[in-house]
Amino acid sequence: MDKQPSCQNCDSPRRPVKARGLCSVCLSWQRRIDRYSRKLERAKNDPGKYYIKNDAQSLPLRIDIAKRVLKEFRWREDGLRTNSTDDWHVEALVNILAQVSLSNFPCNINRLIQRMSPQSRRLIYEVLLAVVENIPTRDPIINDGWGRWFHDRTFSQEHWEQVKAGRALEKAYLESPQAKALQDLMRKKVQTHLPQSSIPN
Ligand SMILES: [Zn+2]
C-alpha cells in the first residue's frame, strides 16, 4: 500500500494533508503568514492608504510568531518520531502543564523521567502531548516559552533590521498625502475648539 503523504511542515503521520502539502493545523498558520505578508506588502506599496488600515507596524511580529508556531509543530512531532522520546521533550510538556495549572515544575521530574524506559518515555510523551495540544490559548504554548523567545528576538539582528524598516515605513506614511490631509484636519479641529485669543497669528 502507498504511504500517505505527510505534512511538509510538521511531517505528522497523525493528521492528513489538507491543502498545499500541509495538514489542517499547519495550513491555518501558514495562511496567517501569507495574509500578514500580503498586508505588509500592500502597506509598503501604498503607505498612505494601508499603513494605518493594515496596522502595518504589528505585522512583522505577527509573521514571526506564526513562523515560530510552525516550528513548534515540527518540534512536537519530533518527539513522536522514534520509539525513544528524549528527556527534554517530556520535561518541556510537563513544564507547560505546570505553568498553565499555576503549579511548579517538580524538582525530581528530571530524575523520574531518566528512570523511565525509552518506550515509557515515548508513551507518556504522547499522552501529555494530547493534553498540551488542546490547551485553549490564543497561540500555542511553545516548549522554551514565549518570554524567552521575545527576549531573544528583541536582541537579534533580524529584529533591528525590522525596526529600521518599520521606521522607514512610518516616515513614508507621514509624508503621504493621506497623512498630511489628516494632520490638517486635526489642526483645524483643534483650532475650532480653542479660544480665538490662544491661536497664534
Ligand atoms: Zn503539519
pLDDT at position 141 over 80: yes
Q: pLDDT by residue (tens digit) across 12-46?
A: 888 999 999 999 999 999 999 999 999 999 999 99
Q: What is the pLDDT of residue 1?
A: 53
What number is the average pLDDT over the span 85-109? 91
Which residues, in sequence order, are CB contacts of 37 under 8 Å at separation 6+? 59, 63
**Among 181, 183, 185, 170, CA closest to 50:** 170
Q: What percent of the chain has pLDDT over 70?
A: 95
Q: What is the pLDDT of residue 75?
A: 96
Question: Ligand 1 centre from 137 Cα, in Å?
Answer: 19
pLDDT at position 166 over 90: yes
pLDDT at position 192 over 90: no
Question: Ligand 1 centre from 132 Cα, in Å?
Answer: 16
- Taking the C-alpha atoms of residue 44 and residue 148, their distance in angstroms, rounded to an integer, is 30
Question: Ligand 1 centre from 8 Cα, in Å?
Answer: 7
Q: pLDDT by residue (tens digit) across 44-85?
A: 999 999 999 999 999 999 999 999 999 999 999 999 988 888
Q: pLDDT by residue (tens digit) across 100-114?
A: 999 988 888 889 999
What number is the average pLDDT over the span 116-142? 94
Which cell numbers in the block locate residue 150? 521575545
**Among 62, 58, 39, 34, CA closest to 50:** 39
Domain ranges, ordered by start, for the chain: 1-74, 79-136
Question: Ligand 1 centre from 151 Cα, in Å?
Answer: 27
- Across the chain, mean pLDDT equals 91
What number is the average pLDDT over the span 122-133? 95
pLDDT at position 165 over 80: yes
Question: Ligand 1 centre from 157 Cα, in Å?
Answer: 29
Q: pLDDT by residue (tens digit) across 170-179?
A: 999 999 999 9
- Taking the C-alpha atoms of residue 44 and residue 51, their distance in angstroms, rounded to an integer, is 8
Global pTM value: 0.86
Question: Ligand 1 centre from 199 Cα, in Å?
Answer: 62
If residue 19 lies in a helix (H) or strand (E), which one and from where to where? strand 17-19
26 and 9 Cβ atoms separated by less than 8 Å: yes
CA–chain centroid gap for 19, Å, is: 21
